[in-house]
Amino acid sequence: MEIVYLNGEFLPQEKATVSVNDRGFLFSDGIYEVTPAYRGRFFLLDRHRERLLKGMCELRIDADLAPLAEVHDELLRQNGLAEEPVSIVYLQITRGVAPRTHAFPPTPVAPTVYAFAKAFHRPTPERWQEGFRAVTVPDRRWARVDIKTVSLLGNVLAQQAAVDAGVDDAILVRDGVALEGAHSNLFAVLGDALVTHPLSNVILPGITRGYILQLAREMGIPTEERPVQVEELRRADEAFFTGTTTEVKPCVAIDGEPVGEGRPGPITARLSEAFIERTDRHASQVTAAAGD
């Protein structure tokens, strides 16, 4: 039986219900976070919490995050995931329940806080070696995608376009620039350098993105944060996606054309190995150099 957390209580998922007047349901007026755990130990939880807090400030949603770490641990424990190689906790906070008016409820209401945990299964090494294919899709999202809101219709439609095209991922393109994946950040290897879009309002500041940049610098791989034109991306030596439910995922074809040699490149492989090694070390409670 799946146990979830809702507004201070742990309960079976079938018993967890929210009002039709919840502003998350009516307006997507809410925010979320997805945090990974390796053998039950949360990875970079502080960075996820900081991003959540920033988003809550932007949206002026007020919730007590003090019990957050305990709720995360307890969800893993109650769902038998404490020893799972990789699992995630999804946390969502909406502005709460109030009769429908566009502006915030005139009298503040308690936010709705919901969380669940589940196992995450990495692709097998064979599947990873095959690589993943993507299509480019126009980015039709709003202008503040740096805030991790539950308003994800643009991402949903982009990912569905990938499914409809029979491929794995979508690359969101705006004004000729390849921004990020439908649920991940995007990197390209151009010559010697690892390049990714700079932090701004048009991409999500991915926690994995930041960690991979940090790892690359430690490994002596030159990094650049600048916009990458989609035409430049098509000629890249390598490309890959990063994210909590993605880790490092090689992108080997874009719109049916191979990226580089059409298989995962050496920099992608090195970074993926280094990332997995760090998470393994974290799982066995050895403090990693990158400060996690």
* Phi, psi of 113, deg, nearest 5: -120, 120
Q: For residues 268 and 282, is the Cβ–Cβ distance under 8 A?
A: no
Report the nearest approach of ligand PDD to the CB of residue 196 (Å): 11
Joined together, the tokens standing for residue 205 give: 């500041």
Report the nearest approach of ligand PDD to the CB of residue 246 (Å): 7
Which residue number, 223 or 245, has a Cβ lying nearer to ligand PDD?
A: 245
Which residue number, 109 or 290, has a Cβ lying nearer to ligand PDD?
A: 290
Cα–chain center distance at 180: 11
Long-range contacts of 208-213 (CB under 8 A, 24+ apart): 208/184, 208/242, 208/243, 208/244, 208/246, 208/247, 208/248, 208/275, 209/185, 209/242, 210/47, 211/44, 211/275, 211/278, 211/290, 211/292, 212/187, 212/242, 212/248, 212/271, 212/275
Report the nearest approach of ligand PDD to the CB of residue 180 (Å): 5
Which residue number, 23 or 49, has a Cβ lying nearer to ligand PDD?
A: 49
Q: For residues 107 and 93, is the Cβ–Cβ distance under 8 A?
A: no
| 15 labelled catalytic | no
Report the nearest approach of ligand PDD to the CB of residue 183 (Å): 4
- Alpha carbons 9 and 242: distance in angstroms, whole number: 33
- Alpha carbons 86 and 219: distance in angstroms, whole number: 25
Contacting residues toward ligand PDD, per CB under 6 A: 34, 155, 180, 183-185, 204, 206-209, 242-245
Cα–chain center distance at 212: 13
* Phi, psi of 281, deg, nearest 5: -65, -40
Which residue number, 180 or 238, has a Cβ lying nearer to ligand PDD?
A: 180
Q: How is the beta sheet containing 30-38 ordered, strand by strand?
A: 9-12, 3-6, 112-119, 86-94, 30-38, 41-42
Active-site residue, from 15, 54, 118, 148: 148
Classify strands 112-119 and 86-94 as parallel, antiparallel or unpaired.
antiparallel
The DSSP code for 169 is: E
Which residue number, 167 or 171, has a Cβ lying nearer to ligand PDD?
A: 171
Which residue number, 5 or 211, has a Cβ lying nearer to ligand PDD?
A: 211
Report the nearest approach of ligand PDD to the CB of residue 184 (Å): 5
Report the nearest approach of ligand PDD to the CB of residue 155 (Å): 6
> Annotated catalytic sites, by residue?
148
